[in-house]
Structures are given as C-alpha cells and as structure tokens.
Amino acid sequence: MTVRGQFPFTVIGHRGCAGVEPENTLRGVHRAIDMGCPMVEIDVHVLDGRLIVIHDGKVDRTTDGRGVLEKFKLEELRKLDAGLGEKIPYLEEVLEMCAGKCQLNIELKGKGSAEAVVEVLERWGPVHVVISSFEWDWLETVRKLDEVLDISVLVSKAYLLDAAILQAKKLRAVSVNPSLKILSEAFCDKVHAQDMLVYTYTVKEQKHLKHAQACGADGCFADFPDAVLKELR
C-alpha cells in the first residue's frame, strides 16, 4: 500500500509567501499562516553562531544592503531592511510564530546549518518541523545527530531522481521534493511505492498546479499560496 491519496494536496508557503510579502520575513510567514498554509518553508544560514532566515549567501537581492553574509556582524545584519521595514529573522522567532499553527520546513542553505538547526531544536523542545536540503550530506549529518527529525530530500536534476529516492530511503525521509521541471507521474509512483511523499517546487501559475496534480504530487511549494488554495477549493 502506498501513501498516495491518503492526504489532501498540501500547499506550502514558499519562503513564507514570497510572491505576496517580502520573502523569509516574519511578515511573510504570518501571512502564509493566515492564508491557511499547513506548512511554511524558510531558508537558514549560520552567522556568528546564530541561525538567520535568508535564502542567498548575499544580502543584495532581498535587503537594502550589499555584500556577502560573512562580512556582516549580527547587529549590522539585523539593521538591514528585508522589505517593508522587516528585519532578517532569527530561526527562533519563526519557530515561535509557527508553534501550534503550522509545520515549519527548514531548508539548510549555509555551511554548519545542519548542526546548528539540530542544536536549536534540541533546546526548543518538541516542534512540528521538517529539515530539507539539496546538500544530501548535510541531511546525513542531521540524521546522525537526531534519529527522529523529519527530513525531506530536495532534487533539481533529472539524472539524480533515482539517487534521490535511494538517499531518502537511507535517511528514512518523509518526502522527496523535485523541481516541477523534472516531475513526472512515474517518479511520483516510485516515491509512493516507498511510502514517501512528493512535494514539488515552485508553483507560480495555474498550469504548474495542474501539472503537479496530474503527476500525482502530494503537495507543492507556492509563492502565491492564497491563489493555489483558492484554486483547490
């Protein structure tokens, strides 16, 4: 028996809700929760021993600053405007916002983030999270440090799809998350046969949603989760 069809289609707020609010901000996460997303995804890097919520290794695209993260001190980084007056959040701030409201998908982006995330979650106590990454060795680190944390394997290249399934099985992952560009019904069937889920990224248009559903995906990451949720009603 596979997991396919056991759950409703899951809409995951991508970087909070990146198409509606400034990405990876508390404002964006709050908005995604208000929209009704059962899961919200963010990205984390480590700076000065703290986990900060930002996608890129540079601040140029998402803030009013310029330069690579390592050039900043924490207090300097926190003074930057991440959009509409928002600060770059700490992971703990997002955990607090999501507690009891939605599952948090934490994507590992920076070196050392695997160890740092596990440490924070150990201090935080029981929380509804899943750890994801394209860096599969980082996910192996997470699994070595914690036997029970939910893990998702990300994959962006078609030639790595079968390897991603094998890696996910090895890690006892809950899902394999491929790009829409490489998503297929055959892939979804393979993942479901291993009792894992498929969450695809990133749905930005109606045709993307239709493709994800036609292939048998269990959910999607969405920049405009409100539009996707409306389409599903």
Condensed to tens digits (0 to 9), the pLDDT of residues 120-134 reads 999 998 889 999 999
Q: Write down the pLDDT at residue 2.
A: 35
Give 5's pLDDT tier (boundaries 50, 70, 90): very low
Q: Write down the pLDDT at residue 125.
A: 85
| Average confidence (pLDDT) over 57-86 | 98
If one compares 2 and 73, the residue with the highest pLDDT of the two is: 73
| Average confidence (pLDDT) over 139-160 | 98
Q: Which residues fall within 8 angstroms of residue 123, CB to CB, at 6 or more apart? A: none
Q: What is the dihedral of CA 94, 99, 101, 107, to 10 degrees?
A: 50
**CATH-assigned architecture of domain 10-232:** Alpha-Beta Barrel (3.20)
Give domain limits for the chain.
10-232
Distances (CA, A) of 123 to 47, 52, 54, 78, 128: 18, 17, 22, 23, 14
Condensed to tens digits (0 to 9), the pLDDT of residues 41-69 reads 999 999 999 999 999 999 999 999 999 99
Kindly tell me if the per-residue pLDDT of 74 is higher than 90. Answer: yes
